[in-house]
Structure 1
Amino acid sequence: MSQNPDATSSSNIRAIGQKFRLTGWISFWIQLVLGVVSGVILLLFAISSQRPGSSGNNAGAGFGIFLAICGLVSLGVGIYLAFRYTRLGAQLLSANPNNRPRKSETIQVLRLGVMVSLVGILLTLLGAQAIVGTLAARAITQTQFLFSPQGNQPFISGLDMFVVQANTNTVMAHFGGLVASLWLLNRINKP
């Protein structure tokens, strides 16, 4: 018995559509949760660093925070693209072949997702390098004043460490988006 090529093609498109929907939703929620947590932490840091006498007023940390925020903006685009994957999946599952996107359009959206994730990872890692460099410089100078009257004041606060964690969360969110985009790109190009 030979199978009808149209039926095989239709079942492949349905399978790809289901993968797009599932992977899109998983990627969407992972990126959204990690992005919101990172955004809240960075917002708290920005508010606390504006207080007089805070140790957050530092050129290296400021540039690092700027890059971290740029990474979050890029993550926002990645979240939108993950949601778009779910919509592409719904279109691929459509019974009307005219509603389905072309393969080239779908590949173009996936490539855009890969690029957005890579740019976001780069921006966030550069921000993390600037922030960690600033914290390392503070830690080195902190040991010099260990036995001074100011020795009981922490130069590196817990909020500083949360900013490092926020950057790590953002990198992880971008990595999740990158893995989802690459996996879908692999599935769509599979013979």
Structure 2
Amino acid sequence: MALVTAAAPIQPVVEVDSAVAVSEAAKKALARAANATRRVGWFSFWSQLTLSVISAGILLFSAAFTSQNGPGVALYLTLFGVVAGLVSTFWTFGYTRLARRLRGYSLGGARGALRRVRKRDVLATLERGCWINVLGMAATLLGLQATVGLLVAKTLTNATANPFLAGGAGSYNPVLALDVFLVQASTNTLLSHFVALLGNLWLARVISANAEA
């Protein structure tokens, strides 16, 4: 009987210490995930906002002054990529709000806060962001291919019509400077989606490694 009473206090002490250790480890992991989400969210937001706004301005300028027969398929595809870039810009802004919620729990939030920010929900949000970037990149790549093909066709047509004057001083060049601006808008849009896609994939890796289910 004396043996039972002497051993009884040992079990609760071990359980309490283990629970505290797990709780502290989880809070530190959530703090790391929150810091990563905040940094990547702000970096992706400002990068995409700058590149998308510049691309939109170049695209509108090129559409207004380049084509006399109205915008072509390349312009529409590039425009879709720019719009997807703007959507992704505000999508990544939501990561900064998510980082605040993760930070709140890591500083000692209630157990219910963890259920409101579940790992599978965060990963689903990152997956949607990846799909936005993939669709935007796909449309922009198709638009860029069409634009480059049109520029090559113009160059070859001029070289065929004037084989001795092509490239010479004073020769007619059907490729306008505004046509090249459309290529610049496409490359800016591609860079915007690429930066956001890398950020989403890296965040998914960090969240999977540090956050609870």
- State the TM-score bracket (shorter-chain normalisation): 0.7 to 0.9
* 1:36 corresponds to: 53
Hey, what does 2:175 align to over in structure 1?
A: 156
Q: Which runs of 4+ in 1 moved over 4 A?
A: none
Contact 2:58 2:181 in 1 (8 A): yes
1:119-161 Cα offsets, whole Å, 9 max, x none, are 111000000011111111101011134449xx64431111111
Which residue in the other structure is 2:93 paired with? 83
- CA distance, structure 1, for counterparts of residue 142 and residue 203 of structure 2: 28
Aligned equivalent of 2:81: 71
Cα deviation, residue 58, structure 1: 5.8
Task: Give the CA RMSD over aligned residues.
Answer: 2.0
Q: Which runs of 5+ in 2 are unaligned?
A: 1-16
1:1-191 paired onto structure 2 within 5 Å: 4-49=21-66, 56-57=67-68, 62-95=72-105, 96-97=109-110, 98-100=112-114, 101-146=117-162, 147=165, 152-190=171-209
The size of the alignment, in residue pairs, is: 182
2:35–2:99 contact (8 Å) kept in structure 1: yes
Amino acid at match of 1:139: T
Measure, in 2, the Cα distance between the counterparts of 1:120 and 1:58. Answer: 26
When normalised by structure 1's length, the TM-score is 0.88
In 1, Cα distance between equivalents of 2:40 and 2:193: 14
What is the alpha-carbon distance in structure 2 between the residues aligned to residue 87 and residue 69 of structure 1?
Answer: 28
TM-aligned CA deviation for residue 77 of structure 1: 1.5
Question: Normalising by structure 2, what TM-score?
Answer: 0.79
Larger Rg: 2
Q: Aligned-pair distance for 1:20?
A: 0.2
Contact 2:52 2:82 survives alignment (8 Å): yes
Percent identical among aligned pairs is 34
